Amino acid sequence: MKYRRLSKEQFEELHKEFINFLATQSITADEWTNLKANRPELAEQELDMFSDLIWEGVLGQVEYIEHFSPQQLHMFHLGEDNMHVIAIKINDDSINLHTTEGYTWLKENLLNDAVEFFNATKEYSKEPLSDKFNLIEQGGNITKGELYNYFKKLIG
């Protein structure tokens, strides 16, 4: 397995797609029931293959990922050849970006001495999709890039 198995909720959401996937593997509903009961290791392999297939499709489409921590915000633009990050660090432990108050404070105090901006570009490894997946596994959220683009215009 290359990525992570989808959660039960994700499988339920993708029920129709999973049925189509099984059909491409020439596995009927009865065969799937039999496989789960009598050859669970093969059923597990099918779940893993489907999960990887879904992850690859999603990761291939991802353009922006954001990661919030209490005093930092990382906004990634995932280009074709590299990723660009705009990072904001708050040098004040009393500000917590996970709270509405902390996020509001940031919006109102972008020029405060406690706020630092960074930006950098990084080349992908040999596995760009794995690089994207790792950002998500570390707590990043796929977004449409509104924050990234706002700050890109702001810092030039």
Model pTM score: 0.85
The answer to whether residue 3 is domain-embedded is no
DSSP 94-107: T--TTSHHHHHHHH
Rounded CA gap, 110 and 129, in Å?
Answer: 33
Beta bridge partners of 90: 115
- Say yes or no to pLDDT of 156 above 80: no
Same domain? 93 vs 75: yes
The answer to whether residue 27 is domain-embedded is yes
The answer to whether residue 1 is domain-embedded is no
Q: Can you give the residue range of the structural domain that contains 37?
A: 8-61
pLDDT of 78: 97
The answer to whether residue 2 is domain-embedded is no
| Contact assessment for residue 153 and residue 145, using Cβ atoms and an 8 Å cutoff | no
Same domain? 131 vs 113: yes
Structurally, the chain folds into a number of domains equal to 2
Same domain? 18 vs 91: no
Confidence of residue 7 (pLDDT cuts 50, 70, 90): very high
pLDDT in tens, 88-126: 999 999 999 999 999 999 999 999 999 999 999 999 999
Cα–Cα–Cα angle for 129, 56, 29, rounded to 5 degrees:
160
Q: Which phi and psi angles does 5 have, rounded to 5°?
A: -65, 140
Percent of the chain with pLDDT over 90: 96
